[in-house]
């Protein structure tokens, strides 16, 4: 019975894969409208320059070029600047100054994509170079080149944010028996989704209606933002339809609004013809928002026996030229204050300062719900630094300190209330699975022979599922989410939700939630997302919030339907509703299993034979505002061998134990973890974007920006524990980012562990062979 339904806990095959694996997905670039024009963008070669003149005459002479748009053209429309999600503003096109390399300078609209590109090549811009500042620490020093001359404040400081008890923490440090300190740089990296960003904007001049097909993770928010920003041009919210079709990976990179989107919409409104803009790969990696770029200085105070007492963290956040991060309004540094992690610190203090530099906007939440990756990496690295300092096994040190399972719900010193957790169980399972004790013995023997082997642990706590709406909003729009369910007369179901999959499998898993609640086979349930004309209002998919928030809405909407269905079942069974129970996916008269009705029978009656006085139909809507976030967690153990000749790090084994509460679809969750682990491996060993002193990007192609391929990716071994969320309607927590958050520290800790006997305490990621080989050479152990 249960197998046929395909409810919660079943590895139902992904419905969406039927089209994806046949190449039949429908992405933005598949949208082709009659008369459509194509847009391409001219970009600045310099990181900071005055624009003396833009000559568009040659471009306009190219046959097929319809229009060239510059900043000056946008001024009368008041569209040359746009608000960012972080209450900053960002240039759509510059009128006089460019602030980073690859910044948009002009747009060309043409009858063909390649003619538009020729038009871009023919635009002549006269630049006067200005001094460049790329280092945020230098940017904050007095006398630094000012990046944002448009601001009243004449320096590069964006904001200061702090949380915790400064004086109490300072005192705890002053009194502490042991203090360890570590500076860490978490480098700038870039989301590299298979699909780049793109849009087809289609303005119907007669209806006054704008239809936008767009690679966005949050279509409803985009609709509202367009209405707020372009309302003065006559674009009202009921005449704006945003469609987010299939998306080839978002990972946080498709949350911000990029100038290209605005330009394509503007171009369509002006021409009255559909306009398509599809970013190329180089533009995507060079100009779109970046992640991380945190300069962290962290200290941990403890007793001699290893009892952790206090944490003190100071950070400089490099946001590039505009603060276009996608954080909830209240939290400019995201949820970085989850940094106390899995440990019951008594005192903590965290401060972050944002800085402008001549680089593209940074600060997006690349597969981490708002700076959680930075936080988890810092605390899990710091715990290992402490372990080395007091000569204690890092597993033992963690076990000694974990917040005990009896302490949940646990209120952290920096203000979060962790819903549930059992950290010791997860770490023990990881240790048993990998054979921790044996590995330590092997390591000791190898060390005697001069061989380099390391074991690294990361026992992270995640924080996902923004709302609740009292604390979480974007530009004032509260973070709740929604579901609308309609049961048709023949018992088939249409579910529409306010979030939007970018590959996470929502069509399958949200169907499974409804299947479980209504006893209708998942095959009979269609799930639709991403069209603002049909889906209920929601805040979109990021921060692993779909399951915690829209998942809750879906379960509750289904339960509303079941309540009504029960009354219809009682009517059909000629019984008192109080005598009806929901059992084995059916309504039964208590104690008389033979007298029962299926949901399909009830659905038919809802339209053909419903009780007198009751509304016909069977549908429900729910807007769910979660009471709290969810706190998934895990323990990862990584084993590395290091080549003494090349400095290459080889991951021999990696065991990942994750706990995301009730699991809807184990296969999909495992897939999320595999993908997430690879995205955690990437910054640990390979990925980093750097800039030279002139602000030229050094990692602007995949020749220089190393994405791990199947060759570099180890065989991930996964296992799980299940600690349901007590407040979520089905006990589920989010999981989409856990592995990316947890993996980097396990890998870095393993490498440091392999080299610890040489006096190594820390190596900044990415841990490249070059860095390791230098350590080996400096210590005379290189082969
Ligand atoms: N799931 C489950 N049981 C749980 C938790 C989740 O079966 N207890 C399922 C969900 O139903 C969903 C998937 O796992 O099908 C991920 O769910 P969730 O953790 O709620 O995350 P979201 O759906 O909100 O996805 C967002 C998350 C984020 S923020 C990034 S970044 C990321 C990630 O998902 N981007 C991805 N995974 C991605 N996977 C793909 N293929 N593409 C992306 O762009
Ligand atoms: Cu944290 S990236 Mo995801 O939130 O889209």
pLDDT digits (tens, 9 = 90+) for 657-667: 999 999 999 99
Q: b/e for 550-564, b at 16 or more Cβ within 10 A?
A: bbbbbbbbbeebbeb
**For ligand 1, is residue 252 a contact (CB within 6 Å)?**
yes
Instruction: Categorize the per-residue pLDDT at 188 as very low, low, confident or very high, splitting at 50, 70 and 90.
Output: very high
Cα of 186 to ligand 1 centre, how many Å? 24
Mean pLDDT, rounded, for 207-223: 97
Predicted pLDDT of residue 509: 98
Catalytic residue list contains 368? yes
* Cβ(740)–Cβ(680) below 8 Å: yes
Cα of 544 to ligand 1 centre, how many Å? 6
Q: Are β-strands 477-478 and 275-278 bridged in parallel, bridged antiparallel, or unpaired?
A: unpaired
pLDDT tens digits along 276-303: 999 999 999 999 999 999 999 999 999 9
Q: Which residues contact 98 (CB under 8 A, 6 or more apart)?
A: 44, 46, 47, 48, 49, 51, 105, 127
pLDDT tens digits along 297-331: 999 999 999 999 999 999 999 999 999 998 999 99
pLDDT tens digits along 378-419: 999 999 999 999 999 999 999 999 999 999 999 999 999 999
Instruction: Categorize the per-residue pLDDT at 764 as very low, low, confident or very high, splitting at 50, 70 and 90.
Output: very high
Give the C-alpha separation, 697 to 362, whole Å: 14
Give the predicted TM-score (pTM) of the model: 0.98
Joined together, the tokens standing for residue 393 give: 């096994």
pLDDT tens digits along 557-610: 999 999 999 999 999 999 999 999 999 999 999 999 999 999 999 999 999 999
**For ligand 1, is residue 670 a contact (CB within 6 Å)?**
no
**For ligand 1, is residue 9 a contact (CB within 6 Å)?**
no
Q: Which single residue is written with the structure tokens 């349930």?
A: 525
Instruction: Categorize the per-residue pLDDT at 475 as very low, low, confident or very high, splitting at 50, 70 and 90.
Output: confident
Indicate which ligand has the atom closest to the C-alpha of 505. 1
Give the C-alpha separation, 123 to 68, whole Å: 9
Predicted pLDDT of residue 369: 82
Give the C-alpha separation, 316 to 553, whole Å: 38
Query: Looking at 226-230, 273-277, 500-504, which range is the least confident one?
Result: 226-230
pLDDT tens digits along 151-181: 999 999 999 999 999 999 999 999 999 999 9
Q: How many CB atoms lie within 10 A of CB 574?
A: 8
What's the mean pLDDT when you consider all of the chain?
A: 97
**For ligand 2, is residue 322 a contact (CB within 6 Å)?**
no
Mean pLDDT, rounded, for 712-720: 98
**For ligand 2, is residue 365 a contact (CB within 6 Å)?**
yes
Nearest CA to ligand 1 atom 41: 503
Mean pLDDT, rounded, for 57-84: 96
Catalytic residue list contains 737? yes
Predicted pLDDT of residue 504: 98
What are the chain's domains? 2-22+481-624 (3.30.365.10), 31-130+192-287 (3.90.1170.50), 423-463+630-783 (3.30.365.10)
Instruction: Categorize the per-residue pLDDT at 2 as very low, low, confident or very high, splitting at 50, 70 and 90.
Output: very low
Nearest CA to ligand 1 atom 22: 544
252: left (phi over 0), alpha (psi -120 to 50) or beta: left
Whether the pLDDT of residue 370 is over 50: the answer is: yes
Whether the pLDDT of residue 104 is over 70: the answer is: yes
**For ligand 1, is residue 545 a contact (CB within 6 Å)?**
yes
Q: b/e for 327-358, b at 16 or more Cβ within 10 A?
A: bbbebbbbbbbbbbbbbbbebbbbbbbbbbbb
Give the C-alpha separation, 625 to 571, whole Å: 33
Predicted pLDDT of residue 677: 98
Instruction: Categorize the per-residue pLDDT at 36 as very low, low, confident or very high, splitting at 50, 70 and 90.
Output: very high
Whether the pLDDT of residue 1 is over 50: the answer is: no
Give the C-alpha separation, 335 to 663, whole Å: 24
Mean pLDDT, rounded, for 434-454: 98
CA distances 218 to 86, 242, 496, Å, are 15, 10, 14
Catalytic residue list contains 438? no
The ligand 2 atom nearest the CA atom of 191: 2
Predicted pLDDT of residue 3: 45
């Amino acid at each position: 019975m249960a197998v046929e339904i395909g409810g919660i806990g079943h590895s139902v095959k992904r419905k969406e894969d039927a089209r994806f694996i046949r190449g039949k997905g429908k992405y933005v670039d598949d949208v082709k409208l009659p008369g459509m024009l194509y847009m391409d963008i001219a970009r600045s070669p310099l990181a900071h320059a005055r624009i003396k003149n833009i000559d568009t005459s040659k471009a306009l002479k190219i046959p097929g070029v319809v229009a060239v748009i510059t900043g000056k053209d946008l001024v009368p429309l008041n569209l040359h600047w746009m608000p960012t999600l972080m209450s900053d503003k960002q240039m759509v096109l510059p009128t006089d100054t460019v602030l980073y390399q690859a910044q948009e300078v002009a747009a060309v609209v043409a009858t063909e994509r390649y003619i538009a590109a020729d038009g871009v090549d023919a635009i002549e811009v006269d630049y006067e170079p200005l001094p460049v500042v790329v280092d945020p620490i230098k940017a904050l020093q007095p006398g630094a080149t000012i990046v944002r001359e448009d601001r009243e404040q004449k320096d590069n400081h964006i904001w200061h944010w702090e949380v915790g008890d400064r004086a109490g923490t300072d005192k705890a440090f002053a009194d502490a028996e042991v203090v360890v300190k570590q500076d860490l740089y978490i480098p700038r990296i870039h989301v590299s989704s298979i699909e780049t960003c793109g849009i087809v904007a289609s303005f119907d001049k007669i209806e006054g209606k704008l239809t936008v097909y767009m690679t966005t993770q949050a279509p409803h928010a985009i609709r509202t933002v367009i209405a707020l920003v372009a309302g003065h041009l006559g674009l009202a919210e009921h005449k704006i339809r945003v469609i987010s079709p299939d998306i080839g990976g978002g990972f946080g990179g498709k949350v911000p609004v990029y100038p290209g989107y605005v330009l394509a919409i503007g171009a369509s409104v002006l021409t009255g013809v559909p306009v398509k803009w599809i970013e190329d790969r180089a533009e995507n990696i060079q100009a779109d928002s970046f992640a991380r770029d945190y300069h962290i200085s962290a200290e941990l105070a403890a007793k001699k026996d290893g009892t952790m007492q206090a944490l003190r963290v100071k950070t400089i956040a490099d946001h590039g030229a505009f603060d276009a991060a996608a954080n909830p309004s209240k939290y400019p540094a995201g949820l970085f204050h989850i940094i106390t992690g899995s440990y019951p610190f008594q005192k903590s203090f965290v401060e972050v300062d944002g800085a402008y530099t001549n680089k593209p906007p940074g600060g997006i939440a690349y597969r981490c719900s708002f700076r959680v990756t930075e936080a988890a990496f810092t605390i899990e690295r710091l715990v290992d630094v402490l372990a080395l300092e007091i000569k204690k096994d890092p597993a033992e040190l963690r076990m000694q300190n974990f917040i005990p399972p009896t302490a949940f719900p646990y209120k952290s010193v920096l203000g979060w209330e962790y819903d549930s957790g059992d950290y010791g169980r997860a770490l023990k399972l990881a240790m048993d699975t990998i054979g921790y004790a044996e590995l330590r013995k092997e390591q000791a023997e190898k060390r005697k022979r001069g061989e380099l082997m390391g074991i690294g642990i990361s026992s992270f706590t995640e924080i996902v599922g923004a709302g609740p709406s009292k604390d979480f909003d974007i530009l004032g729009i509260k973070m709740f989410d929604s579901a609308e369910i309609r049961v048709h007369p023949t018992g088939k179901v249409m579910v529409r939700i306010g979030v939007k999959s970018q590959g996470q499998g929502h069509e399958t898993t949200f169907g499974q939630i409804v299947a479980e609640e209504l006893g209708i086979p998942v095959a009979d349930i269609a799930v639709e997302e991403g069209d603002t004309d049909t889906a209920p209002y929601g805040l979109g998919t990021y921060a692993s919030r779909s399951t915690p928030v829209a998942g809750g809405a879906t379960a509750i909407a289904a339960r509303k339907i079941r309540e009504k269905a029960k009354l219809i079942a009682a009517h059909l069974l000629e019984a008192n509703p109080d005598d009806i129970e929901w059992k084995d996916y059916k309504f039964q008269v208590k104690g008389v299993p033979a007298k029962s009705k299926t949901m399909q029978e009830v659905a038919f009656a809802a339209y053909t034979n419903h009780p007198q006085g009751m509304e016909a139909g069977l549908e429900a809507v729910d807007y769910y505002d979660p009471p709290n976030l969810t706190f998934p967690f895990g323990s990862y153990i990584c084993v590395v061998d290091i080549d003494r000749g090349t400095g290459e790090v080889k991951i021999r084994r990696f065991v990942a134990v994750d706990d995301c509460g009730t699991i809807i679809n184990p296969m999909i969750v495992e897939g999320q973890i595999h993908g997430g682990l690879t995205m955690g491996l990437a910054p640990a060993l390979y990925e980093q974007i750097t800039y030279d002193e002139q602000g030229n990007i050094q990692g602007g192609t995949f020749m220089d920006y190393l994405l791990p391929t199947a060759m570099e990716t180890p065989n991930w071994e996964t296992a799980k524990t299940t600690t349901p969320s007590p407040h979520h309607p089905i006990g589920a927590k989010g999981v989409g980012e856990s592995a990316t958050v947890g993996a980097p520290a396990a890998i870095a800790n393993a490498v440091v562990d392999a080299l610890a006997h040489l006096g190594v305490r820390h190596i900044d990621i990415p841990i490249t062979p070059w860095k390791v080989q230098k350590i080996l050479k400096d210590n005379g152990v290189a082969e």
